[in-house]
Chains A and B, each alone.
Chain A
Amino acid sequence: MRNRKRVGWHKYINGVTIATLVTAIFVLLPLYWLVASSFKSPNDVGNSPPQLFPNPISGANYSNAFVGYDFGIYFRNSIIVTLCTTALVLVLGTLAGYALGRLPMRGKFTTLVVLLIISVFPAVAVLAPLYLLMREIGWLNSYQGLILPYTAFNLPFAIWILRNYMLGIPKEMEETGRIDGASPLRTVWTIILPQALPGVFTAGIFCFTACWTEFLMALTFNDANNYRTIPVGIAEFGGNFQVPYGTIFAASVVAVVPIGILVFIFRKFVISGLTSGAVKG
């Protein structure tokens, strides 16, 4: 009953396909508008009534983002901060996830609950002390000034995801390592890690996305032009009077494409992460 047999044209045109189409349009229309506007000439972006299609198609906004504005710098900064954070989170998260998943530690349960609570804590709660601390040690407007807090905020979720995957690995696997006399670190690296690889991908793509999109801490700690990440850069494009939407959208398209490709490639892991319970929005 749930999948009724449909015949004739009902096979293609029915409530389900129409509703799917409506959903797709609901998702796609704003995206289309973003991309289309980025290819309009800078003057046409401000046309009223708005142009439905860019005519003529222009790359001026794109060159403007990189030449007129410093989008290249922001992009580089985002890449550095995101990659360093993701690497750190995966290394520290794998070790902690292994320990909390498979080793007999007392207080493991409490630790896990505290981690879960931390993972939903609003960043604004730590902003003031962290800002003052970083000012004291001269970390404002530096890469480590973002990498460290990003690592801390993304670790709880990564540990959770990795722990869940580690739980499912058969015990015999690590016993072979122990019998061979391998060091614990080596056991994790050569035996556990390959088994938990889906978890590593999931944790990695979530961490990457979170760093790529984070705004509040980046705005607070790294507001100097040379250290801005993409979200801060895009938010602060232009002066006080005119918002250069064409440039903003061109930069946006360039910013969204890498994350879009990554998410598409790793979509299986993203969905498994979203549905694994410890959910982040």
Chain B
Amino acid sequence: MTAISSASGQSAAGQARPVVPPVPRPDINRRRLARLGWTFSAPALVVIAAVTIFPIVYSVIMSFNNVSVTGSGFSLDGFTFSNYNLLLNSSLWRDALFFTVYYTLVTVIVELVLGTCIALVLERLVAGRGWMMALLLIPWSMITVINAELWAYIYNGTYGVADYILGGLGFHPVILGTPGPAIIGLMIADIWKTTPFVAIIVLAGLVMLPGDVYEAAEMDGASGWYTFWRITLPLLRPTIALAVMFRVLQAFGLFDLPYVMTGGGPGTSTQSLAILAYNALFKNLAFGPGAAVATTTALLVLLGCLASLRVFRVQVGQEGS
């Protein structure tokens, strides 16, 4: 047919319309379009490479060097494993890793369960679903720093509401001053912000489920629970898997919420990997060890990506490109 279709290798379909003259030299056309494609993508790809790929590589190099940073510049003083040695022998790194994983696990599971419940409710809601969706978008678009300040105020030991209510019930925990309650406090703030996001994704998945399956189940006299566990949940699995994967990968960058709300404390009980890296880099100016923390974190995310490459591939493959 014309340039594009023959270029993308579908010229066989052109046989149906013999009136159209054949396009001369489709190879050259294809090559020209490919060159155009790279020209068009080049600016974006160059910017991305300059700010992400190059620094990541450089970060790895730094992590294997004694880096000395002074007021005017910095230098790499020779290859060494010492940064990683320091890391692996430090309880700070182990604690940060443990906290990050533990926090991720709990928040993602709670958000998933709560979000699915909310989605199931909203799917049955007859009137006002649009308003509820709009409402759910507010926490999603909230600045995390504000979320942290707000909950820190709610938990405040002298004038916080949560403290006041718990006090009325006879508890007097110093919420942000005790490791256990501080972690729970962070999780609640996270759950408030992110559950609506999960609910929206699951709801979208629910709405797209085929209706006839449910009719069949109903005719067979399946109970509501049975339908949910045996039909709804399995059909939703791809949606949920993708949401969970992104949430988990992102949680490894956890920084804003604990940094503002608890400063990583009390002690180092809420210090995430990103906070540890930030403090090492910019508070202690230990660029070698800081780079090592950043690199290991990036490596963990990369491993996570590779593990879920199948999900990614489904993404890329969709719509048959």
Give the contacts of A26-46 with B (CB-CB under 8 A). Answer: 26-28, 30-31, 33-34, 37, 45-46
* A contacts with B: majority SS: helix
Task: Indicate if the CB atoms of B44 and A104 lie closer than 8 Å.
Answer: no
Binary CB contact string for chain A from 1 to 40 against chain B (1 if under 8 A, 0 otherwise): 1110000000000001101100110111011011001000
Nearest first, the 8 closest Cβ-Cβ pairs linking A and B are: A122-B253, A152-B51, A103-B37, A275-B204, A125-B298, A126-B55, A99-B37, A96-B44
Task: Indicate if the CB atoms of A95 and B200 lie closer than 8 Å.
Answer: no
- For residue A260, CB closer than 8 A to chain B, the reply is yes
How far, in whole Å, are A254 and B72 apart by their CA atoms in the complex?
39
| B side interface size, CB within 8 A | 115
- Number of A-B contacts defined by CB within 8 Å: 320
> A98 to chain B: which residues have CB within 8 Å?
40
Task: Indicate if the CB atoms of B59 and A48 lie closer than 8 Å.
Answer: no
Give the contacts of B1-37 with A (CB-CB under 8 A). Answer: 2-5, 7-8, 30, 33-34, 36-37
Task: Indicate if the CB atoms of B135 and A28 lie closer than 8 Å.
Answer: yes
- For residue A279, CB closer than 8 A to chain B, the reply is yes
- 19 further A-B pairs in the complex, CB-CB below 8 A; given A215-B259, A235-B149: A33-B150, A46-B159, A92-B47, A96-B44, A117-B302, A117-B305, A121-B56, A126-B52, A126-B55, A127-B281, A128-B290, A129-B58, A168-B319, A234-B145, A235-B260, A248-B149, A256-B141, A263-B138, A279-B246
List the one stretch of B87-95, B179-187, B191-199 in contact with chain A.
B191-199
How far, in whole Å, are A116 and B277 apart by their CA atoms in the complex?
24
Report which B residues bind A (CB closer than 8 A). 2-5, 7-8, 30, 33-34, 36-41, 43-45, 47-48, 50-56, 58-59, 62, 69, 73-74, 117-118, 121-126, 128, 132-146, 148-154, 158-161, 164, 192, 194, 196-197, 200-201, 204-205, 214, 218, 242-243, 246-247, 249-250, 252-253, 255-256, 259-260, 273-274, 277-278, 281-282, 287, 290-291, 294-295, 297-298, 301-302, 305, 309, 312-313, 315-316, 318-319, 321
> B321 to chain A: which residues have CB within 8 Å?
101, 108-109, 167
Known contacts being A152-B51, A184-B36, A275-B200, is A120 close to B41, with CB within 8 Å? no
Task: Indicate if the CB atoms of B243 and A260 lie closer than 8 Å.
Answer: no
- Residue of chain A at shortest CB distance from B211: A2
Task: Indicate if the CB atoms of A1 and B218 lie closer than 8 Å.
Answer: yes
> A123 to chain B: which residues have CB within 8 Å?
253
Task: Indicate if the CB atoms of B34 and A106 lie closer than 8 Å.
Answer: yes
> A149 to chain B: which residues have CB within 8 Å?
51
How far, in whole Å, are A113 and B34 apart by their CA atoms in the complex?
19
| A side interface size, CB within 8 A | 110
